Amino acid sequence: MNFSDIFKSSFLENISSVSLIDMAAALILSFGIGLFIFFVYKKTFSGVMYSSGFGVSLIAMTMITTIVILAVTSNVVLSLGMVGALSIVRFRAAVKEPLDIAFMFWAVGAGIVLASGMIPLAVIGSVFVGIILIVFVNKKTNSTPYIVVIRCNDHTAEEQAREHLVKYTERCTVKSKSVQKNEIELNMEIRLKNDNTDFINSLTEINGIYSAVMVSYNGDYMN
């Protein structure tokens, strides 16, 4: 192999398979769509702990997918090798929220569609999906549920605590009951009539009740 054979190699010939203008346009558009996905994720997040790293990874995922699909579409042989290489990749990160899966698939799908040249579909489709998520995720149809944990010493105190909660709340349901010697622990789901929580203070004034704790729960409920 001489010096001229190096410049005739197929590796260097593939450099011009994707023009610099196409690469720049695809990366800029993928960054814009990824940034939009990130803002929608941040706007619609309703979990316990927000992870900024996952939001940034959505931008990177969109751009990386665009780069991979650009390489695959420019070379048929490379596409077969890429499938084999990606098939051995394993991800072990746990997805905490079901909605996070939708955002990951959205980022990958937008990168694929964009790199395939269907720019209007990638842009308009992403805007439409973002609007749908903002409307439905942020829509609150029910009042916020709370869990009240009550510790008391006998059945009489238990009945008084339950009557007290029924009087001052819109809805009161027993979720669990734990009984030990001289102690009963109740976990009750309640829905507040208003923002006033003073009735929890008066629970401890009932004879036989040791403590009362109210915590908010961000779970999904159906009527």
User: Domain boundaries in the chain?
Assistant: 3-137, 145-216
Residue 30 burial by Cβ neighbours in a 10 Å radius (0-12, 13-18, 19+): buried
Residue 181 burial by Cβ neighbours in a 10 Å radius (0-12, 13-18, 19+): exposed
Fold for the domain defined by 145-216: Alpha-Beta Plaits (3.30.70)
Residues 6 or more apart from 92 whose CB is under 8 A from it? none
Contact (CB, 8 A) for 67 and 29: no
Contact (CB, 8 A) for 164 and 148: no
Order the strands of the 169-180 sheet from edge to edge. 169-180, 183-192, 145-152, 209-216
Interstrand relation of 183-192 and 169-180 (parallel, antiparallel or unpaired): antiparallel
Spatial distance between the Cα atoms of 40 and 34, rounded to a whole number of angstroms: 10
**3-state DSSP assignment of residue 155:** helix
Q: Is the pLDDT assigned to residue 223 strictly greater than 50?
A: no
Predicted local confidence at residue 3, as pLDDT: 47
Weakest mean pLDDT among 12-16, 87-91, 131-135, 141-145: 12-16
Which residue would you say has higher pLDDT here, 179 or 88? Answer: 179
Q: Is the pLDDT assigned to residue 81 strictly greater than 80?
A: no
Spatial distance between the Cα atoms of 14 and 74, rounded to a whole number of angstroms: 8
- The answer to whether the pTM exceeds 0.85 is no
Task: Give the closest residue to 27 by CA, choosing from 55, 67, 58, 57.
Answer: 67
**3-state DSSP assignment of residue 57:** helix
**3-state DSSP assignment of residue 192:** strand
